Structures are given as structure tokens and as C-alpha cells.
Structure 1
Amino acid sequence: MLRLLLGAAAGILAYRTYKRTRPSTPRHVRDAGPGQMRNPPRRWDIVDETADESFPASDPPGTY
């Protein structure tokens, strides 16, 4: 029973910490391409373009 109470208390504490530290507003997501970057790379090829277009999606690019 003590383990259950300690586990519940730890879960509540972790949730409250998460709620307090997460950003309250969504962050800006930039468009793909080197023209939209603050510090664009000197070299930019099709692999870079495909990887940049796929982020932050969880699926890999389909052009490999």
C-alpha cells in the first residue's frame, strides 16, 4: 500500500512540474528552405531540402 501511495505522489509531483515548465504558447515554426533560416548553410542539396521539409514530422522523407 505504501508503494502505491508513493507512486501516486511521485506521479502528481511530476505532472505539476511538467505543467509549470512547459511553454504556454506555441512556438513559431519556420517554412522549409535555406531562405527561411537565420544562418543558412553554404552548401544545400536535395537531401538537405528533403530532410528540412520533413521536419518535425515523425515519418522519414519518401525520396530515398
Structure 2
Amino acid sequence: MSLLQWAAVGAAGYAIYRAVQGKKAETSHVAFADGEPADKNFAQVRSAGVEGMRSDPKQWDKTDQASDESFPASDPPATY
């Protein structure tokens, strides 16, 4: 196979991949958990806590929870 044929096969494969993944990528946001309504959320702020995250952190304690609940406030939580 020539280099041009390999390039055409690669481009076709990439186009198929994007077509399959494109719909999911357009509707999901990075910070929001699956099923979290982000489209109607004007401020684009997710729910506080691990439940609102797409990926679960390995360690999560009361301080992390309080800090996440206070975001985007300028003051740190009182649990420090």
C-alpha cells in the first residue's frame, strides 16, 4: 500500500470515529457528571460534591467537601 492509500484509510477511520463520538462529545461537559443537566444551567456551575463530578477523586474529606460547596466564593470555608 502506498503512503497516499494509508492516508486515505486513516482519514476514513478518523471520520468514522468522529461521527460515532461526535454526538456524545457535543452533549457532555467535562465538569458535569453524566445525567447532570448542564444545558439549562445558565451559570454553567455543577452541583457540589462527588455526586456532581464526572470522575471520582481518590481521596475526599470534609475539607474538600466544604471547599467545593463554597466555590466560587472568595472566602475559604470555616473548616480549615
| Smaller-chain TM-score bracket | 0.5 to 0.7
CA deviations on 1:14-40 (whole Å, 9 max, x unpaired) are xxxxxxxxxxxx541011000110112
SS in 1 for 2:45: coil
Name segments (4+ residues, structure 1) moved above 4 Å.
Answer: none
Matches within 5 A, 1:1-64: 26-64=42-80
Q: Which amino acid aligns with 1:54?
A: S
TM-score, with length taken from structure 1: 0.52
Q: Tell me how far apart the structure 1 counterparts of residues 61 and 54 of structure 2 sit (CA, whole Å).
A: 18
RMSD: 1.3
TM-score, with length taken from structure 2: 0.43
Identity %, equivalent residues:
56
